Amino acid sequence: MPSAFPTTNTQEADALLERIEAIDKRYQAAQRKMRSIEQLTLVLVSCSLMFGGCLALESVLKERAVINQEVSVTWKK
């Protein structure tokens, strides 16, 4: 009596398994690369925002220093 389940050619199955594993390795490498790119992008954006904030704070502090200096001069008179 024949088997209810067809038998597979082990060479075909092995070749298919090797192809699947190769595809999986490429996928994993691409995922690592994308993760690295995402992290680098996040760091660069964060640094840019911090730098912009520092520039804005610097101009505000300069304006306040000028105002404080004027107030100080006025009180001395």
What is the model's pTM?
Answer: 0.57
Element (H, E) at 11: helix 10-76
Q: What are phi and psi of 8, to 5 degrees?
A: -110, 155
> How does pLDDT run along the chain (77 residues), one tens digit per residue?
555 555 557 888 888 999 999 999 999 999 999 999 999 999 999 999 999 999 999 999 999 999 988 888 777 76
Q: What is the number of alpha carbons within 13 Å of residue 14 lying toward its C-beta?
A: 3
The whole-angstrom distance between residue 30's C-alpha and the CA centroid of its chain comes to: 14
